Amino acid sequence: MTDRLTLENLSVTRNHRRILDNIDCSLPAGQIIGVIGPNGAGKSTLLGAIAGTVSHDGIIRFADAPIDHAKLGFMPQQSQVAADLTVMEVILLGRHERLGWRVAPDVLEAAGAILSEFGLADLAARKIRTLSGGQQQLVMLAQRLLREPRLLLLDEATSALDLAHQMRVFDLLRRYVLRTRALVLFAIHDLNLAARHTDGVIMLGKGGLVGAGPFETVMTPATLRDIYGVEAEFLTCRQGRPVILPLSAIQQHSPSGG
Ligand SMILES: Nc1ncnc2c1ncn2[C@@H]1O[C@H](COP(=O)(O)OP(=O)(O)OP(=O)(O)O)[C@@H](O)[C@H]1O
């Protein structure tokens, strides 16, 4: 049976303000789901609530059980390592539960493999703080994948990456999901990237769930206008996926109420 992430009456209130209001949804694993919505819509709050870093009301379950942190990978929007560690040391922290007095050969092998997959092998001995922003983001992603999570929550995890690395990361995530049947929730602003690489999206706006389902059914010219305040042309690429060409921002639009 396929695992599911289930949210029932999920609400988050912060500073007496309702950030998320009674969200209900059920997502089967084995997919990459985009979490979309304008600035302040509650994407990070939603991922934080699922990860257990933001207190909430309502029910959050994965595979018919409360979230098991051993099965979770969470990469918040600001994921930086302040400590003076090398890239390899940061990657190995992805398996910190298994690190004892010595690093087991299979963990070292898995870390080496993931560094190669991410194109980071040459940087393994470098101090992480000497890497570029995009390289550091790749390291943080690789660390989360080394955990082999059943549920992977990524908040704008490709925001610092160039086009080729964005595509490479989504290819890696696709292979990971096909191999493990995990569920990936990916908060993302780049709508064309979401259209191209996700199996479905959940769209937030004004604290609520605006829609859930395949990108092309959730994201229409009307929702883009109403929720994002943007007029756009909707095209279809040769692979049949939607492509959004933004034309203009509507003046005075306040989609998520600050
Ligand atoms: N620690 C906090 N205390 C109070 N309010 C907060 C806190 N963090 C976020 N908020 C508010 O919650 C709302 C949702 O924020 P959140 O960061 O979840 O949005 P988002 O969709 O991820 O935005 P962005 O796309 O800008 O990252 C915003 O109005 C924000 O001001």
Say if residue 158's pLDDT is above 50.
yes
Who's near 59: CB < 8 A, 6+ residues apart?
6, 7, 8, 9, 10
Is the per-residue pLDDT at 116 higher than 70?
A: yes
pLDDT at 201: 97
- Write out the residue range of the structural domain in which residue 53 sits: 4-249
Above 70 in pLDDT, residue 255? no
Owner of token pair 């990524």: 154
Asked, for residue 36, whether it belongs to a domain, the answer is yes
Q: Whose CA is nearest to atom 18 of ligand 1?
A: 42
How many whole angstroms from 88 Cα to the centroid of ligand 1? 32
Q: What share of the chain has pLDDT > 70, as a percent?
A: 95
Residues 6 or more apart in contact with residue 155 via CB below 8 angstroms = 43, 44, 47, 75, 76, 77, 187
**Least reliable range by pLDDT among 77-86, 124-133, 163-172, 236-245:** 77-86
Q: pLDDT digit string (tens) for 19-74?
A: 999 999 999 999 999 999 999 999 999 999 999 999 999 999 999 999 999 899 99
Ligand 1 centroid to residue 61 C-alpha, Å: 23
This model of the complex carries an ipTM of 0.97
Could you tell me if residue 258 is inside a domain? no
Cβ atoms 208, 42 nearer than 8 A: no
Residue 26 falls inside a structural domain: yes
Which of helix, strand or coil describes residue 206? coil
- Alpha-carbon distance 128 to 30, whole Å? 32
Residue with the nearest Cα to atom 4 of ligand 1? 14
CATH code of the domain in which 179 resides? 3.40.50.300
| Structure-token pair, residue 14 | 């912060």
Q: How many domains does the chain have?
A: 1
Ligand 1 proximity of 39 Cβ (cutoff 6 Å): yes
Residue 242 is assigned to a structural domain of this protein: yes
Check the CA dihedral 54-55-60-61 and report its sign.
Answer: positive
In a domain, 254, yes or no: no
Burial of 257 (0-12, 13-18, 19+ CB in 10 A): exposed
Ligand 1 atom with least separation from CA of 37: 21
pLDDT in tens, 86-109: 999 999 988 877 666 777 888 889
The closest of 148, 95, 140, 86 to 118, measured between CA atoms, is 140
Question: Residue 45 CA: which ligand 1 atom is closest?
Answer: 18
Is any atom of ligand 1 closer than 6 Å to the C-beta of 202? Answer: no
| 207, pLDDT greater than 50 | yes
Q: Is 37 in the pocket of ligand 1 (CB under 6 A)?
A: yes
- Evaluate whether residue 62 is within a structural domain: yes
For ligand 1, atom 8, name the residue with the nearest CA. Answer: 45
Q: Is the pLDDT of residue 258 over 50?
A: no
Query: Which atom of ligand 1 sits closest to the CA of residue 155?
Result: 22
> Residue 173 Cα, ligand 1 centroid: separation in angstroms?
26
- The model's pTM is 0.93
The residue behind tokens 């990971």 is 176
